[in-house]
């Protein structure tokens, strides 16, 4: 759907009107385009005491080919960057005016083990935040508090959440801010996730905390994905088969396109009544269309049969519906159909595909939840119940699927411009659109790119996570 306010205030006349009336001016977000460089510009890196992740960071920076510079509070980075032969200099000394911009700020806080050491983060962001360019990126790296040896360390690491989320709210101008907790021993699993959070692919993902696991999941990455099955960063899903439910339109159609662009063969499922739209989505992707009502009791077994002995590597549970009414006015069928399509059908399909071995080992399950499932929403008891249940499924199934190297995660979209949100009454729609750090709704592609990252072979250490794609919405924050 069209956001006419965003378009207006980004026109020459509208920008003048917004300036003179003091109106908010949402930024036109820079999104990934295959014909533009994904990474460019300078990255400023800072670090707290005894950072553990600088080697891993240096490795990724070198691979993606951006220039790294030391900001005034980034002293620890300088010797390390020099050792890695990265182009480095002091941001202020390299002829950059105070107005010069960096594309990203990365801060390695993994060694901070006491709240007093948070001063280093204060110093870095105090000096550097204003240098981040429009649609820039902030990534803070820490270690999962629950893996810390002492309460003081746990406290300091947990404090990073408040810092990172506040930076997202202060930075504005389409800048995102996210926190990656990297477990000890999980450093080699960082790359796919760091690339995503530094890329325009994460344009509408801000204020999120993602855990990268060590231990068993990490062994899976090394054994199955990174070493045994190397992948091409440009076509990481080449040779993979991906099922997407609700693929005929909206977010599902965007997911199908994003996974196909990464090289996957996409099998799209949708209602028999929308077969033409499903065909229209999948034909240009050379995908396969399957017509099923996923809520029909026989659907899971039929889907497993239709997927035959080739199996699938990626399963995206996207199909969903709303039937909004306050609970006193909600009909029995509105309650049951929403729970059944949005939640119970996912359970039944997973059970069937896992039991039959149709979902291969080292596979990926990605479920579409909603910020309504986190915050609740007036008139959406059925929907919010179903979407909170999706979160429960992800959290409860992740430990069981580890043995097979299968990850399961959820995305929780906020306000995304689709036919579903076009049905919302105007005033509520406008509020939903603006109540986030980006002051605008997201696009289906924002959800799709987040799912493509979770489906990536390099994301084997990310499981049991709920990632909001909501522009850091105030709802459920």
Ligand X SMILES: NC(=O)c1ccc[n+]([C@@H]2O[C@H](COP(=O)([O-])OP(=O)(O)OC[C@H]3O[C@@H](n4cnc5c(N)ncnc54)[C@H](O)[C@@H]3O)[C@@H](O)[C@H]2O)c1
Binding interface with ligand X (CB under 6 A): 245-246, 248-252, 270-271, 274, 293-295, 318-321, 341, 368, 370, 413, 415-416, 418-421
Q: Which residue number, 217 or 260, has a Cβ lying nearer to ligand X?
A: 260
Supply the minimum distance, in Å, between the C-beta of residue 349 and ligand X. 10
Supply the minimum distance, in Å, between the C-beta of residue 222 and ligand X. 33
Rg of the chain in Å (alpha carbons) = 22
Cα-based angle 319, 324, 329 (whole degrees, multiple of 5): 140
Would you tell me how many other CB atoms lie within 10 Å of the CB of residue 50? 13
Q: How far is CA 372 from the centre of its chain?
A: 17
Nearest to 281 by CA among 322, 230, 245, 323: 245
Q: Which residue number, 223 or 274, has a Cβ lying nearer to ligand X?
A: 274
Cβ–Cβ < 8 Å for 148, 177: no
Runs of H (alpha helix) within 30-145: 54-64, 77-83, 119-128
- Based on the residue annotation, tell me whether 383 is a catalytic residue of this protein: yes
Cβ–Cβ < 8 Å for 454, 316: no
Two tokens, residue 274: 């929308």
**What are the residues whose beta carbons fall under 8 Å from the beta carbon of 398, sequence distance 6 or more?**
407, 408, 409, 463, 464
Q: Which residue number, 46 or 246, has a Cβ lying nearer to ligand X?
A: 246
Coil, strand or helix at 360:
strand
Candidate list 5, 181, 204, 383, residue with the active-site label: 383
Supply the minimum distance, in Å, between the C-beta of residue 294 and ligand X. 4
Q: Which residue number, 375 or 420, has a Cβ lying nearer to ligand X?
A: 420
Two tokens, residue 300: 């899971």
Q: Which long-range contacts link 451-454 to residues 24+ away (Cβ below 8 Å)?
A: 451/255, 451/258, 451/259, 451/316, 451/366, 451/368, 451/411, 452/201, 452/237, 452/255, 452/258, 452/259, 452/262, 453/192, 453/193, 453/196, 453/201, 453/202, 454/364, 454/366, 454/407, 454/409, 454/411
Would you tell me how many other CB atoms lie within 10 Å of the CB of residue 189? 27
Q: Which residue number, 366 or 397, has a Cβ lying nearer to ligand X?
A: 366
Q: Which residue number, 382 or 421, has a Cβ lying nearer to ligand X?
A: 421
Supply the minimum distance, in Å, between the C-beta of residue 333 and ligand X. 14
Cα distances from 282 to residues 292, 317, 318, 374, 444, in angstroms, run 15, 17, 16, 32, 16
Supply the minimum distance, in Å, between the C-beta of residue 292 and ligand X. 6
**What are the residues whose beta carbons fall under 8 Å from the beta carbon of 157, sequence distance 6 or more?**
109, 112, 142, 143, 144, 145, 148, 181
Nearest to 416 by CA among 366, 467, 370, 475: 370
Cβ–Cβ < 8 Å for 201, 146: no
Q: Which residue number, 112 or 475, has a Cβ lying nearer to ligand X?
A: 475
Supply the minimum distance, in Å, between the C-beta of residue 94 and ligand X. 43
> Within 13 Å and on the Cβ side, how many CA atoms surround 430?
5
Supply the minimum distance, in Å, between the C-beta of residue 356 and ligand X. 20
Q: Which residue number, 141 or 319, has a Cβ lying nearer to ligand X?
A: 319
Cα gap 143→188, rounded to integer Å:
14
Supply the minimum distance, in Å, between the C-beta of residue 116 and ligand X. 41
Q: Which residue number, 151 or 425, has a Cβ lying nearer to ligand X?
A: 425
Supply the minimum distance, in Å, between the C-beta of residue 447 and ligand X. 7
Nearest to 452 by CA among 438, 442, 462, 441: 462
Catalytic residues: 383
């Amino acid at each position: 759907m069209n956001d006419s306010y965003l378009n207006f205030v980004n026109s020459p006349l509208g920008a003048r009107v917004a300036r003179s009336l003091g109106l908010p001016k949402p930024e036109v977000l820079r999104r990934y385009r295959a014909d533009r460089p994904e990474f460019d510009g300078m990255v400023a890196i800072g670090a707290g005491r005894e950072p553990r992740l600088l080697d891993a960071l240096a490795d990724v920076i070198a691979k993606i080919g951006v220039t790294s510079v030391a900001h005034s509070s980034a002293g620890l980075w300088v010797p390390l960057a020099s050792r890695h032969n990265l182009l480095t200099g002091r941001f202020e000394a390299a002829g950059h005016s105070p107005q010069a911009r960096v594309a990203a700020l990365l801060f390695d806080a993994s060694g901070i083990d006491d709240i007093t050491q948070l001063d280093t983060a204060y110093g870095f962001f105090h000096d550097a935040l204003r240098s981040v360019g429009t649609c820039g990126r902030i990534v803070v790296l820490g270690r999962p508090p629950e893996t810390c040896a002492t309460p003081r360390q746990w406290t300091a690491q947990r404090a990073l959440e408040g810092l990172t989320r506040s930076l997202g709210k202060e930075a504005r101008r389409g800048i995102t801010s996210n926190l990656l907790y990297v477990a000890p021993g999980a450093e080699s699993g960082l790359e796919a996730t760091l690339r995503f959070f530094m890329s325009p692919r994460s344009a509408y993902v801000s204020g999120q905390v993602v855990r990268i696991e060590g231990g068993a999941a990490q062994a899976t990455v090394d054994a199955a994905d990174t070493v045994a099955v190397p992948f091409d960063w440009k076509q990481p899903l080449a040779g993979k088969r991906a099922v997407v439910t609700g693929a005929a339109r909206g977010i599902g159609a965007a997911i199908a396109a994003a996974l196909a662009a990464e090289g996957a063969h996409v099998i799209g499922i949708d209602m028999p009544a929308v077969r033409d739209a499903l065909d229209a989505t999948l034909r240009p992707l050379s995908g396969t269309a399957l017509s099923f009502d996923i809520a029909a009791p026989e659907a899971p077994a039929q889907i497993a049969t239709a997927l035959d002995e080739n199996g699938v590597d990626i399963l995206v549970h996207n199909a969903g519906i709303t039937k909004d009414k306050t609970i006193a006015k909600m009909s029995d069928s509105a309650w049951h159909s929403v729970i059944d399509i949005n939640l119970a059908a996912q359970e039944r399909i997973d059970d069937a595909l896992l039991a039959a071995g149709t979902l291969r080992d080292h596979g990926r399950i990605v479920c579409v939840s909603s910020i309504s499932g986190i915050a609740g929403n007036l008139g959406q008891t059925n929907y919010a119940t179903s979407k909170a249940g999706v979160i429960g499924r992800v959290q409860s199934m992740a430990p069981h699927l580890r043995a097979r190297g299968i990850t399961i995660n959820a995305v929780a979209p906020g306000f995304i411009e689709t036919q579903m949100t076009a049905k919302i009454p105007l005033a509520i729609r406008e509020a939903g659109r603006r109540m986030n750090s980006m002051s605008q709704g997201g696009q289906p592609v924002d959800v799709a790119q987040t799912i493509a990252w979770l489906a990536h072979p390099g994301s084997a250490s990310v499981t049991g996570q709920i990632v909001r794609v909501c522009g850091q919405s105030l709802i459920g924050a």
